[in-house]
Structure 1
Amino acid sequence: MEPTESAPDEPALLEDAPLDLPEATETATFGMGCFWGPDARFGALCGVDRTRVGYAGGTEPDPTYFALGDHTEVVRVAYDPELLSYEDLLETFWTNHDWHSSAPKRQYRSVVLAHDDDQYEIARRERAALAERTGRSPATAVERLSAFYSAEPSHQKYELRSRPTVGDGLEALYGDAFVDSTIVARLNGFAAGHGDRSQRETLLAGLDLPAPLLAELRRTL
């Protein structure tokens, strides 16, 4: 299940290693509307190790999709700061959703949930710079993350799950590692149309998967 080679400018993607992330990995959390799209968008980025969708930004304990309370749909991104900076992630955040209009529901609001003081100050500074550059006032909130609640399995890696032939096949192979797999995050992003053909071909060429599943991935992606 491990690839034999990595995508350009990216270290090998380890799938059978322990689920603990490397010590150098950092984490960011963003709300950008429905969390399925951002999960795929960030997952396709070289330097992102993992993605997971969930609920955050509210006060109600143990939110669920049908009992969200005052929480927001968010994506949590674990990334390698040697390959991606927090500013890089914010650039993806700003350019891939409507940051200047208020969402119809708190569930879908635009929000940066900072994990530490540095993230908080960077996000506030970039929000102010965006307003000055565009002449438009961002509706994006910048807050400190207090808690993250993982969303139900059916919402994780949704682009792949919406293609049952490949989604179910990959989940059967990866088991509990499906949600936190770097490779699955990439494939989920590619399924949504992110990344280029070279990235897709490099990743698929290195995967040791059953031939029918690999053929279906090539057809789907």
Structure 2
Amino acid sequence: MFLTRKAQLVAPEQTLPGRSERTFPISGRHRVLDAPVVTDEVPEGLEVAVFGLGCFWGAEEIYWQVPGVWSTSVGYAGGTTPNPSYEEVCSGATNHTEAVRIVFDPSKVSYADLVKTFFEVHDPTQGFRQGNDIGTQYRSAIYYTSPEQEKVARELTAVYGAELERRRLGQITTEIRPASETTYYYAEDQHQQYLAKNPNGYRCHANTGVKFPATA
């Protein structure tokens, strides 16, 4: 991966200018799920979840394997620069984090279960890093799409945070914001379903090893 050592976000007025529209095509169909990759229009009855949990290659692979997930994509969220490139995001000058967008059927998998998976498969205490991947683009984030999602996200963050503190593993640094405050920009096509195209590719799963408490 393209690494930086950015340890803090930059002032919004200092971020890169970006561009008015996406300048690259994205494949129409998901290689694994045979669903649309670009899901700006979501079928009735489905919901959207957006998470940042380190390198988006491995994050997307985890979620496309979850029963009830209809489509996944990778992109950039939480930043300021419009339509950023991968290189720009990795420079730390756009304030985006690498993100995975999940379209799921809530009758088959709950948002709560997606959040529990989120906490179990990465380390939410590391700030602007995941393992050896260092930079603001690797920060932990939940961008909720409804008041109900916000309630679930905050409640489960408190539960998991208490468990990590009980084990003296640190405090959760996960950014929790409404998705409406930040535009999700789809990443370049080579990053979509990257590990389906490159099965031996890089995976970063710097998790704490702590399962979500069964009582939650």
Within the candidate set 182, 185, 196, 1:149 is matched to: 185
Q: Distance in 2 between matches of 1:36 and 1:21?
A: 22
Gaps of 5+ in 1: 1-12, 165-191, 193-221
Within the candidate set 97, 106, 109, 2:139 is matched to: 109
Q: What corresponds to 1:38 in structure 2?
A: 59
Q: Distance in 1 between matches of 2:195 and 2:64?
A: 11
Q: What corresponds to 2:43 in structure 1?
A: 22
Equivalences, count: 151
Aligned identity (percent) is 36
Larger Rg: 1
Give the conservation status (yes or no) of the 8 Å contact 2:35–2:71: no
4+ residue runs over 4 A deviation: 13-16
Q: CA deviation at 1:22?
A: 2.7
Q: What corresponds to 2:122 in structure 1?
A: 97
For residues 64 and 124 of structure 1, do their structure 2 counterparts lie closer, same or farther at Cα, with a shift above 3 Å needed?
Answer: same
Q: CA deviation at 1:132?
A: 1.8
Q: CA deviation at 1:163?
A: 5.1
Residue 67 of structure 1 aligns to a residue whose secondary structure is helix
Q: CA deviation at 1:15?
A: 5.9
Q: What corresponds to 1:130 in structure 2?
A: 160
Q: Distance in 1 between matches of 2:160 and 2:172?
A: 8
- 1:141-220 alignment runs, 5 A limit: 141-145=175-179, 146-162=182-198
State the Cα deviation string for residues 28-54 of structure 1 (Å, max 9, x = none): 000000000010000001100000000
The amino acid across from 2:194 in the alignment is: Y
Q: Distance in 2 between matches of 1:112 and 1:71?
A: 13
Q: Distance in 1 between matches of 2:138 and 2:55?
A: 6
Residue 86 of structure 2 aligns to a residue whose secondary structure is coil
The two structures have a TM-score, normalised by structure 2, of: 0.65
Q: CA deviation at 1:134?
A: 2.6
Could you say what the CA RMSD is over the residues aligned between the two structures, in angstroms?
2.1
The two structures have a TM-score, normalised by structure 1, of: 0.64
Q: CA deviation at 1:67?
A: 1.2
Gaps of 5+ in 2: 1-32, 204-216
Q: Distance in 2 between matches of 1:82 and 1:97?
A: 26
Q: CA deviation at 1:133?
A: 2.4
